[in-house]
Amino acid sequence: MNVQTLTGAWHFRQVGTEEWLPATVPGGVHTDLLALGRIPDPFVGDNEKHVQWVAEADWEYRYQFAAEADVLQQLRVWLVCDGLDTLAAVTLNGRFLGQTNNMFRQYRWEVKELLQAEANELVIAFASPVQFITEKQVQRPLPGVSQAIPGGSHLRKAPCQFGWDWGPQLPPIGVWKEIRLEGGGDARLADVHLQQHHADGQVNVSAALSVERWTDEALTARLRVVAPDGEENVGETAVSPTASATVNLPIANPQLWWPNGYGEQPLYQVIVSLHQGDVELDQRVYQLGLRTLKLRQDADEWGRSFEFMVNGVPIFAKGSNWIPADSFPTRISDDYLEMLIRGAAETHQNMLRVWGGGFFEEDRFYDLCDRYGILIWQDFIFSCSVYPLNDPDFLENVRIEVSENVRRLRHRTSLALWCGNNEMEWGWVDWGWKHQSDLDELKIAYDRFFHHTLPEWCAAADPDTAYWPSSPSSDTPFENPNGQQQGDAHYWDVWHGRKPFTAYRSQYPRFMSEFGFQALPPLATIRTYAEEADWNMTSYIMERHQKNDSGNSLMVGQMLDTFRLPKDFSSLVYLSMALQAEGIRYGVEHWRRHRDRVAGTLYWQLNDCWPVASWSSLDYFGRWKALHYAARRFYAPVMLSIEDAPPRQGVYVTSDLRETWEGNLRWSLETLAGEVLAAGEEPVQAAPLAATHIQTYNLKEYVTDDNRRNLVFIAELWQGDRHVTTQTAFFAPTKHLRLIAPAIQATCCHEDGVLYIELAAHSLARLVELSLDGVDVVFSDNYFDLPVGRTITITCPLPAGWQLSQAEAALRIRSVYDSFAN
């Protein structure tokens, strides 16, 4: 197969105008206009509203090119568009090829007879998606998301691009994936289905090929598997007269792939090729990890489990929800994408849920998840809306979309689950849709599609991966989607319902696939969209960058339940992040203490698509919020937690290790100034893949109404002379603690490009935040409690070109005390 990528000197214009402007492909109208200075940056201030006209207009892209000789000389040549967003009419050299209406599909046309050697013109005319959905919504109103441009469910385009409760209304238009010419000979690979078969410690890899052929000559299918150490296995077979073939290949000494934290991630290279004699006609290359993966749903004392099993080992899913990494997807660089996935892995996450309001990610995303050991819960692209699932044309469009993407992703080592949609079953039960009589037919269509049609399509194309109808769901149509007995749950009563963090302890779902709490992004990020005059939670600009109704009020309300009134805006930003971290920690620790019943937690959300106040732990620029540092602790393979019920403090160790963990627990009850009132030490044998209750300490003889605001319970886990982790618990809300200036002392040194910061406090420092002024770095720990009498060392990279003296001058340290004290 010979390929000519069609990138270069593209031009575009608004339909109805004469001026052709330079364009980037892959790209889009917004980013092209922004690069030319024709629109303001939509992410700054309130510019989002000033660029709405862009998506309301029609646009035209044009590319003039010469066809490469090695492509043109092939027997057949196809124009292949991996992604057109969304309503496009494609013309080559004046000949109309076809129209598109689905950004998730690949489109291809045979164009050999239309191509010329020197002068070719490809024109792609894009119609406004906003005008399209607006007209459709007038004809047939469909319920959707209140923060979005109405009618998005009429069009197969990423729902969140029309707006969401964390994202702007900036629907892109353009060629958003690769576009190319493919030249081939007498046959091509139409489909390859890779499977792996495990039995008695042995693995066989099979490749089932479907071939598109225009010759009666003999064809051969070849399968080559290259092990991580370079060892190769090769097998081949003849292609049958029905244009199919299956090649099986045993793998000697198979190296098993494991999720992050459970083992290594060895990846094999798999090459599937099609031959006519000695000539290779087509080839596909894959990476493959050898593993078994199933969703176990067995009856138990609480109902029915919902637990992922990898290589026969029960995995506690530790992770978060993934949204598109940019409102304009073509700006997502390889480095940026890897930074986000690596950030998940560095906090011990082993699962991401690719949320159904975005899009099927590109292959590079799944490559990274395979490499970093991140399992993927893959939603289909339906979210929080009613869709016209009784429209035959709409269904046929979706059928092709599903077929293409399931076949593209089914071999992925990281793929753990196909899920029908996000929150639509919940919507039918609790959001009032069922009371609209004009939607009765669509409710029937929903049931038919997500409980029958879609799972049948999935099973036909990918019989090896489990299917789940909706998230959340109890797997019984329209019945208690957030039930605690089976399936997965979303719990939003803490954020939307304004309940305290302690409400998390009332929940025992079989799998918690969504829950969250908002925070502002770091001040450095706020500076990119708001001037200092706007640094107020109720200012116009701050509310433009808060897409959840009353979100800033909810954040401040919970903040004042926990902390004292912050003295300035910078302190408010710090407390918002600390509050988010504390809330999510509280929930995760509870559910990990009950891992025999709860099999996973995916907090909402990992990342952002623009700079905004949101539920993310990594902001739009990849900066770590307090929650991301907390995740490194509460998702640690060996987690220490305290079930506080003052004056009782229950201490637990939860282990994801596959062998018993042994160490010691050192505990103490102290004043905030470090006076020890009681202390002890316990041996710890933490059972594998389980939560172990170490001890519950009843401290009522030491705790009184007079001193409870001055006490802290400290639990420390040690293994020999190695300190593993520390947890603290208090007997009064943080805002009522008798905090005094902690007088933190910092001593710095550096070696081999690493800055070492040794810290000690004279009084307990609550939620210590470290930063280096003017530069972004990731610390080994941050937003932690620092009791008296402990010296801890925190590390971070020494910024390139910096001397130690610069780092010492730039080091900033604050704690909760500093957020209110003048």
In this structure, the chain runs to a length of 822
- Closest by CA to 333, choosing from 26, 775, 4, is 26
Q: Report whether 81 contacts 6 (CB < 8 A).
A: no
- Number of Cβ within 10 Å of residue 375's Cβ equals 26
Side-chain-side CA neighbours of 24 within 13 Å: the count stands at 12
Q: Report whether 312 contacts 517 (CB < 8 A).
A: no
- Number of Cβ within 10 Å of residue 81's Cβ equals 25
> If DSSP states are collapsed to H, E and C, what string results for 46-111?
CHHHHCHHHHHCCEEEEEEECCCHHHHCCCEEEEEECCEECEEEEEECCEEEEEEEECCCCEEEEC
- Number of Cβ within 10 Å of residue 415's Cβ equals 23
- The residue type found at 357 is G
Return the bridge partners of 74, or none.
none
Return the bridge partners of 772, or none.
775, 811
Alpha-carbon distance of 179 to 82, in angstroms, equals: 6
Going through 440-581 in order, the beta strands assigned E by DSSP cover: 466-468, 489-490, 512-514
3-state secondary structure of 471: strand
Catalytic (active-site) positions: 423
Q: Return all residues near 588 (Cβ < 8 A) that are at least 6 apart.
A: 601, 603, 634, 635
Q: Return all residues near 611 (Cβ < 8 A) that are at least 6 apart.
A: 43, 521, 525, 526, 528, 529, 545, 619, 620, 621
What is the Cα 503 distance to its own chain's centre? Answer: 25
Q: Report whether 354 contacts 322 (CB < 8 A).
A: yes
Element housing 816 (H / E): helix 816-820
Structure token digits, residue 157: 């385009």
Cis before 463? omega within 30: no
In degrees and rounded to multiples of 5, residue 770 shows phi and psi of -110, 145
Q: Report whether 763 contacts 738 (CB < 8 A).
A: no
Structure token digits, residue 337: 């994408």
Structure token digits, residue 593: 């203490």
